[in-house]
Amino acid sequence: MDYQRANGRATADDVANLARRAGQLAGWATRTGLGLTKKLPGIDTAERGLRQVERGLLSELRRRLDEVDDPYHAALTAASSMNRPGPNGRDVPAAVMLVPARDRVEPLRAAMAELLNHSIGFGRDRAREYLYAIILRQLTPDEARILAALSDGSPFPAIDVAERTAVGGAGRIVLRNASTVGKAAGVSLPDQVPGYVTRLIGLGLVELDEEVPALETQYEILLTDETVRAAEDSLKRTKVIRRTIHVSRLGAQFWRACDPSLD
């Protein structure tokens, strides 16, 4: 689908370029480790400036996505196109349709028909790009930071806070997937880290694993977190379940495809 400027609206290229700038900025912030160097002279001012620029870029990205005629397709890569190269080098539309077009159809049915028709012309590479584009569109900026922190494969501690049963087992869970990865990533909303981690697990980008004794110090630090302490205070008897989180196979593949530090 071709996105031309109409009435001053943004094109798909505008959106892609702005997204690239936002991604490069986030990648630079992660690599320079601003969260770990706050004691350096002037670093607070530099970090505030970086955050302001980052927020401006993301706000402009959202605005341009909303202005595109079809933001769903604008968020996707070229993999969302049903065109294929013709003998003269020009793209021609696919002739085969799994679901025939109708003059009048409900929007949800039309969307499903479009996806089914797309599936005919997709090879592995285009299908993979489409999947990654859909995942990318669902991530928040903080979740992108967390994924960047996990991208090298390092495990981070994670805990659940549950109500202790009479026999010492775990009952109702009041806090799930609290982790120190949020601070390491420098997220803007530290209290939302459990929800971020849960969403990333749901998207298949992050996996839970067993407790790692070598991370004992980090577990102790995590237990002093305000969100964790508030969850413990809400229960008469608590049981803390220790785990670790790390990037999944899908998450590693997704990051390699989207890493803004690579050309």
Residue 72, pLDDT > 70, answer no
What is the chain's alpha carbon radius of gyration, rounded to the nearest angstrom?
A: 22
Are residues 235 and 158 located together in one domain of the fold? yes
Residue 212 lies in a domain: yes
Residue 2 lies in a domain: no
DSSP the chain: ------TTPPPHHHHHHHHHHHHHHHHHHHHHTGGG-TTSTTHHHHHHHHHHHHHHHHHHHHHHHHHSS-HHHHTS-GGG--EEE-TTSSEEE----SS---SS--HHHHHHHHHHHHHHH--HHHHHHHHHHHHHHH--HHHHHHHHHHTT---EEEEEEEEEPTTS-EEEEEEEEEETHHHHHT-S-GGGHHHHHHHHHHTTSEEEE---GGGHHHHHHHHT-HHHHHHHHT-SSEEEEEEEEEE-HHHHHHHHHH-TT--
Q: How far apart are CA 202 and CA 135, in angstroms?
A: 11
Are residues 88 and 175 located together in one domain of the fold? no
Tell me which of 126 and 17 has the higher pLDDT. Answer: 126
Amino acid at 95: A
Residue 59 lies in a domain: yes
Are residues 62 and 90 located together in one domain of the fold? no
Are residues 149 and 254 located together in one domain of the fold? yes
Amino acid at 9: R
Paired tokens of 127? 């299908």
Residue 124, pLDDT > 50, answer yes
Tell me the average pLDDT of the chain.
74
Region 222-234: mean pLDDT is: 92
The answer to which of 15-24, 75-84, 210-219 has the lowest mean pLDDT is: 75-84
What is the extent of the structural domain holding 127? 78-138
Residue 195 lies in a domain: yes
Are residues 161 and 227 located together in one domain of the fold? yes
Give Cβ neighbours of residue 49 (< 8 Å, ≥ 6 apart): none
Residue 119 lies in a domain: yes
Mark which of 58, 74, 90 sits at the end of a domain.
74
| CB-CB contact of 173 with 160 (8 Å) | yes
Are residues 214 and 164 located together in one domain of the fold? yes
What's the gap between Cα 25 and its chain centre?
A: 16
Are residues 67 and 92 located together in one domain of the fold? no
Are residues 40 and 148 located together in one domain of the fold? no
Are residues 89 and 183 located together in one domain of the fold? no
Mark which of 119, 138, 157 sits at the end of a domain.
138
CATH number, domain at 152?
3.30.110.190
| CB-CB contact of 118 with 72 (8 Å) | no
pTM above 0.75, yes or no: no
> At which residue do the structure tokens 């409900």 appear?
106
Are residues 165 and 213 located together in one domain of the fold? yes
**Residue 244's pLDDT is what?**
97
Are residues 158 and 250 located together in one domain of the fold? yes
Residue 6 lies in a domain: no
**Residue 249's pLDDT is what?**
97
Residue 43, pLDDT > 80, answer no
Residue 4 lies in a domain: no
**Residue 36's pLDDT is what?**
41
Are residues 161 and 228 located together in one domain of the fold? yes
Residue 5 lies in a domain: no
Region 210-230: mean pLDDT is: 94
Q: How many domains does the chain have?
A: 3
**Residue 86's pLDDT is what?**
53
